[in-house]
Structure 1
Amino acid sequence: MSEIAQLFGANAGAYASFRPHYPAALFDWLASHCSERQYALDIACGNGQASVPLRRHFAQVLACDASLDQLRAAETPAGISLFAAKAEAQPLISASLDLIVVAQALHWFATPAFFAEVRRLLKPGGLFGAWCYSLMRIDSPLDELIDDFYRNTLGGYWPPGRASVDSGYRDIQMPFPRLEPPEFAIEAHWSFPQLTGYLRTWSAVQYWERQQGRDPVSELEPALLRAWGDIKQPRFVRWPLHLLVGIAH
């Protein structure tokens, strides 16, 4: 298992509790560009945040992750099959899938070997879709604190690959003709504990805590709370999504 898979696996419960959910319109749009809707694959599925909404559109959803801990935390309604696998080595039949998605994970394994595996698995005309989101937007005072925490406090602790998220995946080249998607965003009304719980799922926070022996989010909390205002009031949070979508030959 890779270091990244181990890191997210160790924090699978928090990941399931505090990561935001993707908009239904995103899955509606992806499904609308699939000529068939028999089989979809969610690679690096984590706790199933993309797998579950895909099931509304596809007869069968396959969902894999390199972390067994993440799979144990995943939702498993009827029609979703979970299995452990590396992104670039899938135990599936060639030309068998109508859609492959990667949600907030492509930057960890966007290699030629991975895209060769995607090409092998998709039916002719099948769809590949990957997306990421970077920093949340709430309001100027909170955004400034979170941006400074992200870039300065945690600046040297992000694993390789995170720069692709910062660029909105513009640095990743896929070997398929591209589709231009509409704009999508994650939107939520969050409490203050949801915000701090989410920050603690960041990989750099976990690396920082391991090396420094203390929780950097706890050190940031007083300033966040002052900027938040009334702790009893939820705040509107928005994450713009960045998509990379292509059609297999």
Structure 2
Amino acid sequence: MATFSKSSFNSLGYALFRPSYPSLLFETIYKYHASCPEAHWSRAVDLGCGTGQATLELAKKFDHVVGIDSSVGMIQTANENTGGDTLTSSLRIGGRNIEYKAGSAEAFPFIGNDSVDLITAAQAAHWFKYEDFWAETSRSLRKGGSVALWCYSEFRLKGHPSSTPLISAYASDRSQPVGKYFEQPGRGILENHLQAIRFPTSPEWDASSAKRIYFIGNHYPTSTSVPLHGGPKGLISLDNEKDEAREVILNKRVSWDGLTHYLHTWSALHAYWNEHPEDKGRSDGDIVTRFVGSLRDILKQDLGMIPAEVELEWPLALIMLKKAS
């Protein structure tokens, strides 16, 4: 996460080349939120908002949305994407109000007590300090308000499972040049689909509302015999009768250049280059170019040719909880 906060990080590239969250994800969250008779649609807070991708979607449903991020660069890009030009500005989108502020997921005192209907975090929840996070969300949420946190993990090439071992080695093997530079424990929590995040048990929360949905298709096995907060990487546990495994919903069709640009947004790559700047000058291309070349070789073996575009898909985990009414 520290990489994203550096002034040298290209937040505009992050906004352009990361996947967009599908409408079905938000529909799932809104249906969950609406299940409480006391649900309101006045105010949402998007924590770790980055460049505002999820924040803008929330503004289609809520009257007032606040995006909060610790990275000044991300906040600046979010404002530029929505017509603002300052670190903290108020914007009108479709008759609704969007505001971006610098802050953390564990402390946002500028948000009043019992004033928020929905709190979200997209691709950020694996970094939170949860004792403080749950206390702050409980303070700011109205009774019956909802929390929805989601993350996507390692991508794959749809229809080409033979490429998955290579992708896993590049992205997740901590003995490999890029995989070893992902920050821990956050990366491990993401790779294990947020299963390490424990729901609070204090009385201000509705424990019966806790729900986990895994949009994973057939990419990962499921099990009811492994404890929910343990087990090997990639194994999804469905211990709670409300937990579900569903089809993949996060997809993006890209050119090979688009895939290269996406890989350039990885924090681990920037950390690797900080220690190995010579990699950028290699005659056979930098580490991303070499990796993409290997993927192209696999598809040529599979298809007898190299397609102009490939479809990426990401397993996505969503966890949700309500404040007691």
Report if TM-score (shorter chain) is over 0.5.
yes
- 2:219 corresponds to 1:144: no
Cα offset for 1:228? 4.3
Q: 1:190 is matched with which residue?
A: 254
Which of 216, 223, 241 does residue 287 from structure 2 map onto? 216
Helix, strand or coil at the partner of 1:50: helix
1:134 touches 1:240 (CA, 8 Å); kept in 2? yes
1:64 touches 1:85 (CA, 8 Å); kept in 2? yes
Q: 2:53 is matched with which residue?
A: 49
2:21 touches 2:250 (CA, 8 Å); kept in 1? yes
1:42 touches 1:100 (CA, 8 Å); kept in 2? yes
Q: What is the aligned-residue identity percentage? A: 31
Q: 1:157 is matched with which residue?
A: 181
- 2:106 corresponds to 1:88: yes
Helix, strand or coil at the partner of 2:196: coil
Helix, strand or coil at the partner of 1:224: helix
Q: 2:116 is matched with which residue?
A: 97
Alpha-carbon displacement from aligned partner over 1:191-226 (angstroms, at most 9, x marks no partner) = 111111111111111111111112421332321232
2:169 touches 2:179 (CA, 8 Å); kept in 1? no
Which of 127, 142, 146 does residue 108 from structure 1 map onto? 127
Q: CA 1:23 to 1:30, structure 2 compared with 1: closer, same or farther past 3 Å?
A: same
2:5 touches 2:72 (CA, 8 Å); kept in 1? no
Q: 1:201 is matched with which residue?
A: 265
Kindly indicate whether structure 1 or structure 2 has the higher relative contact order, using CA contacts under 8 Å at least 6 residues apart: 1
Q: CA 1:42 to 1:115, structure 2 compared with 1: closer, same or farther past 3 Å?
A: same
Alpha-carbon displacement from aligned partner over 1:98-117 (angstroms, at most 9, x marks no partner) = 00000011111132111111
The CA distance in 2 between the partners of 1:246 and 1:166, in whole Å, is 21
Q: CA 1:210 to 1:234, structure 2 compared with 1: closer, same or farther past 3 Å?
A: same
Alpha-carbon displacement from aligned partner over 1:3-57 (angstroms, at most 9, x marks no partner) = 2442487120210111100110111121223311110110010111111111121
Q: CA 1:67 to 1:93, structure 2 compared with 1: closer, same or farther past 3 Å?
A: same
What residue ranges of structure 1 are gaps of 5+ in the alignment? none
1:132 touches 1:243 (CA, 8 Å); kept in 2? yes
2:181 touches 2:271 (CA, 8 Å); kept in 1? yes
Q: 1:15 is matched with which residue?
A: 14
Q: 1:26 is matched with which residue?
A: 25
- TM-score if structure 1 supplies the norm length? 0.92
- TM-score if structure 2 supplies the norm length? 0.71
- 2:260 corresponds to 1:241: no
Cα offset for 1:171? 0.7
Task: Report the number of matched residues.
Answer: 248
Q: 1:126 is matched with which residue?
A: 145
The CA distance in 2 between the partners of 1:73 and 1:226, in whole Å, is 36
Alpha-carbon displacement from aligned partner over 1:84-103 (angstroms, at most 9, x marks no partner) = 11111111101100000000
The CA distance in 2 between the partners of 1:9 and 1:80, in whole Å, is 26
Cα offset for 1:227? 2.9
Alpha-carbon displacement from aligned partner over 1:113-172 (angstroms, at most 9, x marks no partner) = 111111111111100010111111211243232211112332321101110011101011
The CA distance in 1 between the partners of 2:27 and 2:7, in whole Å, is 28
2:21 touches 2:54 (CA, 8 Å); kept in 1? yes
1:188 touches 1:236 (CA, 8 Å); kept in 2? yes
Aligned-pair Cα RMSD in Å: 2.0
Amino acid in the other structure paired with 2:271: Y
The CA distance in 2 between the partners of 1:164 and 1:9, in whole Å, is 26
The CA distance in 2 between the partners of 1:166 and 1:54, in whole Å, is 26
Q: 1:179 is matched with which residue?
A: 211
1:179 touches 1:247 (CA, 8 Å); kept in 2? no
Deviates more, 1:156-165 or 1:132-141: 132-141
